[in-house]
């Protein structure tokens, strides 16, 4: 019986070291389209390694798979049992690892080319897209050599290129680029403010701009999106705010030409904004979705309401949530949380860490950066918001200003456009 490379590869990826070195080459979206049941086993394998950080035996993986997926019925179980049996009988060696990974990557490219060719034949895609995919296939190179260790490089030039020179996700507001700089993988921070201050408007304004910076090829494979977990206001309203922020339109302008504005929105961001809307969102639910979509940015609005955490006190439970969010940032991409300011922040311009609701130090300690958005009740300040960076451990970019790392400044809110704007732009 012929065993496809994707089945044989599972056996070698049971090793935690192999997983760390090579799993990034596996496209779960391609697997889901081509080998649905097998893709679920790959997702489970990733869940195991991210949770336990150790090798798995095939028997352990199989038990973990069925216990973490109680919805599998008898008919589905028969299919999965056959796949696990194939994995157990296949003969593989470490010498075959790179070749198997490379074979799966090449098969993915060929499948993309076949699908795109059909779309071009039916007039749903441009010939240039086939030319681009064909060029990638012809230029397909060997996988990079397996690193000898997992230690951080001590090469100064390499560190500079990785941490500073290469930009991450840049902010729409130039003032935030000068203060915080790019958001990169591993970065976790949160914004906080009193209710009705403009937190959703801030997120819509910034992420609609960040979405334009993501790679087209990732969007085409339904990965690399900005993943917004929404357990606060109605999800459809949030997406409308993203439309307004992306196109810079008032609501009446947006709905005056639904079809055209829909196309403009997709052209602007490639459909990279994904809003997952549930009243209760569990941490395991979040992890599964992240594994499937491999996002470029994760938003939690509101992060304090995430389910699946327990501790003796509320502040400690929240500390667990924020610690988990930091781990999520290290494993996937930058994470932004949203939470409330307590009553002491009502009418205050400059919110500090002491104004964060339901926290002593546990929430603040886990964040790399914290932005408080203040709102004054004084007449004449209705369209003004007050930013205070109360914590900043980010490295920044070449154009970031050290003197602005913990800056306080005023910005303009444009709720009718779902945007924020620097006063310096006037």
Residue 105: its H or E element: helix 97-121
Q: Token pair 């007039």 is at which residue?
A: 123
According to DSSP, the residues that pair with 276 across neighbouring strands are 229
Helix (H, G, I), strand (E, B) or coil at 125: coil
Per-residue pLDDT of the chain (426 residues; tens, 9 = 90+): 456 788 888 898 999 988 887 887 777 666 766 788 888 898 899 889 888 888 999 999 999 999 988 888 999 999 999 999 999 998 888 888 878 777 777 777 777 777 778 877 887 767 776 776 676 666 544 554 444 445 666 777 777 766 666 779 999 999 999 999 999 999 999 999 999 999 999 999 999 999 999 866 555 555 689 999 999 888 999 999 999 999 999 999 999 999 999 999 999 998 899 999 999 999 888 988 888 888 999 999 999 999 988 877 787 889 899 999 999 998 899 999 999 999 999 999 999 999 999 877 889 999 999 999 999 999 999 999 999 999 999 999 989 999 999 999 999 999 999 999 999 644
* Whole-number pLDDT of residue 150: 57
**Cα distances (Å, whole numbers) of residue 56 to 19, 45, 175, 272:** 11, 8, 47, 34
Structure tokens at 267: 């052209």
Residue 388: its H or E element: strand 384-392
* Whole-number pLDDT of residue 157: 74
Reported in sequence order, the residue ranges of 108-251 that DSSP labels E, i.e. its strands, are: 188-193, 226-230
Residues 6 or more apart whose Cβ sits within 8 Å of residue 401:
178, 179
* Whole-number pLDDT of residue 106: 74
Is residue 416 within 8 A of residue 250, CB to CB? The reply is: yes
* Whole-number pLDDT of residue 299: 97
Is residue 298 within 8 A of residue 336, CB to CB? The reply is: yes
pTM above 0.85, yes or no: no
The DSSP code sequence of 270-310 is TT-EEEEE-SS-BHHHHHHHHHHH--SEEEEETGGG-BS--
* Whole-number pLDDT of residue 9: 87
């Amino acid at each position: 019986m012929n065993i496809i490379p994707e089945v044989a590869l599972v056996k070698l990826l049971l090793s935690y070291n192999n997983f760390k070195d090579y799993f990034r080459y596996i496209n779960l979206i391609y697997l889901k389209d081509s080998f649905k049941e097998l893709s679920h086993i790959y997702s489970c394998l990733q869940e195991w390694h991210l949770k336990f950080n150790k090798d798995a035996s095939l028997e352990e993986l199989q038990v973990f798979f069925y216990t973490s997926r109680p919805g599998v019925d008898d008919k589905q179980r028969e299919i999965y049992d056959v796949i696990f049996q194939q994995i157990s009988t296949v003969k593989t060696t470490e010498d075959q690892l790179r070749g198997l990974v490379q074979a799966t990557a090449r098969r993915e490219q060929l499948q993309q080319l076949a699908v795109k060719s059909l779309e071009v034949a039916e007039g749903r895609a441009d010939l240039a897209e086939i030319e681009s995919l064909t060029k990638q296939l012809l230029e397909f190179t060997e996988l990079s050599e397996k690193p000898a260790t997992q230690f951080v490089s001590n090469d100064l030039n390499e560190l500079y290129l990785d941490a500073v020179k290469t930009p991450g996700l840049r902010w729409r507001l130039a003032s935030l680029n000068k203060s915080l700089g790019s958001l990169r993988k591993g970065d976790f921070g949160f914004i906080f403010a009193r209710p009705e201050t403009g937190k959703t408007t801030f997120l819509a304004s910034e992420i609609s701009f960040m979405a334009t910076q993501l790679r087209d090829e990732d969007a085409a494979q339904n990965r690399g999106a900005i993943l917004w977990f929404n357990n606060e206001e109605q999800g459809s309203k949030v997406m409308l705010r993203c439309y307004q922020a992306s196109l810079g339109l008032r609501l009446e302008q947006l709905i005056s030409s639904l079809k055209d504005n829909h196309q403009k929105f997709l052209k602007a961001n490639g459909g990279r904004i994904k809003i997952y809307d549930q009243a209760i969102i569990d941490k395991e639910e979040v992890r599964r979705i992240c594994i499937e979509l491999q996002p470029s940015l994760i938003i939690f609005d509101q992060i304090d309401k995430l389910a699946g955490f327990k501790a003796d006190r509320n502040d400690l439970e929240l500390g667990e949530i924020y610690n988990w969010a930091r781990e999520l940032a290290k494993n996937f991409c930058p994470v932004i949380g949203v939470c409330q300011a307590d009553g002491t922040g009502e009418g205050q311009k400059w919110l500090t860490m002491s104004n964060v609701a339901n926290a002593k130090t546990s929430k603040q300690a886990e964040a790399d950066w914290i932005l408080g958005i203040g709102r004054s009740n004084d007449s004449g300040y209705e369209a003004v918001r007050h930013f205070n960076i109360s914590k900043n451990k980010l490295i920044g970019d070449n154009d970031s200003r050290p003197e602005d790392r913990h800056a306080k400044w005023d910005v303009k809110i444009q709720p009718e456009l779902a945007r924020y704007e620097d006063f310096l732009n006037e």
